Structure 1
Amino acid sequence: MVQSIGSSKYTATDLDRFAQELNRDGICVIRALFDRKLISEWAQAFEKLFRERQNQPGGLAPRELARYYLTLPWVPPFANVEVFANPTILGVLDRVFAQEYLMVQLGADIPVQGSDYQEIHRDFRPLFSDQIVTPLYALAVNFPLVEVTPENGPFQMARGTHVLPRDEALFKIATGEIPMESFYMQPGDVIIRTPLALHRGSPNRTSQPRPMVVMGYVMHWLHTAKVDLTLQRDYYESLPEKIKQLLRCQVVEQLPKEKVETYVNFKY
C-alpha cells in the first residue's frame, strides 16, 4: 500500500536497494536525506525541551545509567510532514511492509556523559517464537541531531540477527562471527532498522548529549501500548486525509504542558 506523499529524492532503483538491505541486514543507511538547516532547527528546539524535561518529575524515561528517552511533542519543528511522511522513507517502508502500516512513535534516545554500553537486546519479541522467522512488522527510523562519532555513543547493531534465534545470534556475536557494528552519522543521515535485530547503545564520553530521534512505524494490527502520539485537534484537522491515515494518534483540544514518560521497559 503506497502511502508516500510527494516524490522521493532517490530513484526507484535506490529505494529497491534500501529495501533489499533492510530485509537482508535488518538495517539500511540513507545518507544526507534531510537538509542540515532542518536538523539545526530540531537540535535547537530539542536542547530547550531537554532542559525543561530534566526539571519535570517523570519528564525523562531512564534507559540505564546516564541514558534517557523522551517523547517529542507534536509541535513545530517536530510536527513536520516532510520528516514523518518523507517520501524516501515511506518509499522504503512501502516496499518492506506487507500490509498497511501506521506511525506510532516520535521520540529521542539521549545518552549523556557517564553512560555505558547497554545490554545487547531487541526492542520487540518475535511474533511467535525464535524458531519461526518473523517478518518485518515494525521498523524504527533514526536520525541524529548532532554528528555521531566514536566518542559520543554511536548506535551499534549486529547485521542479520533479526532472522536468527536470539541465543544463536548472541553466540555468533560473542565469538566474533557477527560483529557489533558502530554506525557513525552526519546530521541529515537516516537509518531504517528492524527492532528485532540485536543492538545496543554505546557510551557517550563527551560533555554534550547525543540525541537520536526515533520514529516508529508498525503494521496496522500491532498493539503499541508503550508509545503514543498526541496531536492537537486544529493541527490534526489541517492534515491531508492520506497523512491522517498514516497516524495512530490521540487527538486532543490542547496539548498537555507536561509529559510523564511511560516507555521504560524496552529490552527483549
Structure 2
Amino acid sequence: MVQSIGGIAKYSATDLDRFAQELNKDGICVIPGVFEQKLIDEWTQAFEKLFHERQNQPGGLAPREISRYYLTLPWIYPFANELVFANPVIMGVLERVFFQEYVMVQMGVDVPFQGSDYQEIHRDFRPLFSDGLRPAVGDRIVTPLYALAVNFPLVEVTAENGPFQMARGTHVLPREEGLKKVASGEIPMESFYMQPGDVMVRSPLALHRGSPNRTNQPRPMVVMGYAMHWLHTPKVELTLQQDYYESLPVEMRQMLRCQVVEQLPKEKLETYVNFKY
C-alpha cells in the first residue's frame, strides 16, 4: 500500500516488486511522488543559474538537435545529494532488476526549448551483442537489463512542453523489428506526463524520442545513469571533489564510477554529443 508522509510517497516492498516487474516487462515504470517540492525548487533555481553560465561557455552545452540541449551537472550542492542519487525508492527498484553490482555513471539534464522538434526514434545504448546473436525466446530478447536511466522533471511535463515518448516493450525486440511495429502502429509511441517529484526508470534500449516543446518555457529533465559494474560507458562521466568523495560512506563510493579531483573545474566542456543508436 502506498502511503504519503510529509508529501512524499512511501512505497512497500510489494510496490517496489511491482515497479520492477513493469520495468522488466515494458522497459519503463513511473513512480509518483518520490521527491518533495522543496527539493525540486532548489534544483530548479540552481539549474537555471547553471544553464545561463554554460550558455556563455564555448562547448558548455551539448546540442540535441534543434533547440534542445544536454548538460552534465556539477557534483555540488544541491545536485550532490545522496537522497537523490542513492534514493531508497530508486535503489529498491534497481536492486530488483540488476543482478550484479552496479554503478552510477551519469548525472545531467535534457532540456528542450520552444522550437524543438521530434527526435528521430532511437536507443541510447547499443545491445550487448548484435540483434542476430542475442539469445531469444520467440521474438523476445532475453538479455537482462544491464543499464538504466532514471529521469525526473523539474517542471510539470505536459502534452505541450515536450514529453518523453517511448514504445513499451521494444527493449526486448531486435531494433528493426521494433521500428516496424512502431511504424505500423502495432506498438504506439506513448507520451509520459509527469509531475515534479515523479521519477521514471527506463531501459535505454527501448525505442524512444523527445517531442516538441511548444511553450515559451524550457522543460528540464534530469537524467541519472546506472549500469552493471562491467559495462564500459566512455561517453558519460562523473567528477567529484576529493573532500566530498571521502565524506561518503564506503558503499556509496563504490557505487559511483567517477574521477576524483582536488578541485572541481570551473568550466565544463560537454562531450556527450552522439547519443542515438
TM bin (shorter chain): over 0.9
Match of 1:166 in 2: 175
Q: Which residues in structure 2 correspond to 1:79-90 (within 5 Å)?
A: 79-90=80-91
**Structure 1 Cα separation of the partners of residues 269 and 213 of structure 2:** 25
SS at 1:231's partner residue? strand
**Structure 1 Cα separation of the partners of residues 144 and 124 of structure 2:** 15
1:205-226 CA distance string (max 9 Å, x none) = 1111110000000000011110
1:240-268 CA distance string (max 9 Å, x none) = 11111110000001000000000000000
Is 1:183 equivalent to 2:184 in the alignment? no
**Structure 2 Cα separation of the partners of residues 56 and 210 of structure 1:** 21
**Structure 2 Cα separation of the partners of residues 119 and 135 of structure 1:** 25
Shift of 1:52: 0.6
**Structure 2 Cα separation of the partners of residues 205 and 176 of structure 1:** 25
Match of 2:92 in 1: 91
Q: Which residues in structure 2 correspond to 1:106-117 (within 5 Å)?
A: 106-117=107-118
**Structure 2 Cα separation of the partners of residues 176 and 140 of structure 1:** 25
Q: Extract unaligned runs of 5+ from structure 1.
A: 1-7
Q: Which residues in structure 2 correspond to 1:109-188 (within 5 Å)?
A: 109-131=110-132, 132=134, 133=141, 134-188=143-197
Match of 2:137 in 1: none
**Partner of residue 228 from structure 1, selected from 237, 261, 265:** 237
Match of 1:5 in 2: none
**Partner of residue 213 from structure 1, selected from 222, 231, 247:** 222
Match of 1:11 in 2: 12
**Structure 2 Cα separation of the partners of residues 235 and 9 of structure 1:** 29
**Identity value in percent:** 81
Runs of 4+ in 1 over 6 A off after TM superposition: none
TM-score (norm 1): 0.96
Match of 1:193 in 2: 202
**Structure 2 Cα separation of the partners of residues 72 and 52 of structure 1:** 12
Is 1:255 equivalent to 2:253 in the alignment? no
Shift of 1:9: 2.7
Q: Extract unaligned runs of 5+ from structure 2.
A: 1-8, 135-140
**Structure 2 Cα separation of the partners of residues 263 and 126 of structure 1:** 19
Shift of 1:129: 1.7
Aligned-pair RMSD on alpha carbons? 0.9
Match of 1:48 in 2: 49
Amino acid at match of 1:138: A
**Structure 2 Cα separation of the partners of residues 19 and 194 of structure 1:** 12
**Structure 2 Cα separation of the partners of residues 36 and 53 of structure 1:** 25
**Structure 1 Cα separation of the partners of residues 216 and 60 of structure 2:** 21
1:174-203 CA distance string (max 9 Å, x none) = 111100000000000000000000000000
Shift of 1:42: 0.2
Aligned residue pair count: 261
**Structure 2 Cα separation of the partners of residues 168 and 236 of structure 1:** 44
Match of 1:59 in 2: 60
**Structure 1 Cα separation of the partners of residues 120 and 144 of structure 2:** 24
**Structure 2 Cα separation of the partners of residues 80 and 235 of structure 1:** 11
Amino acid at match of 2:217: Q
SS at 1:109's partner residue? strand
**Structure 2 Cα separation of the partners of residues 172 and 203 of structure 1:** 23
Match of 1:26 in 2: 27
Is 1:104 equivalent to 2:105 in the alignment? yes
TM-score (norm 2): 0.93
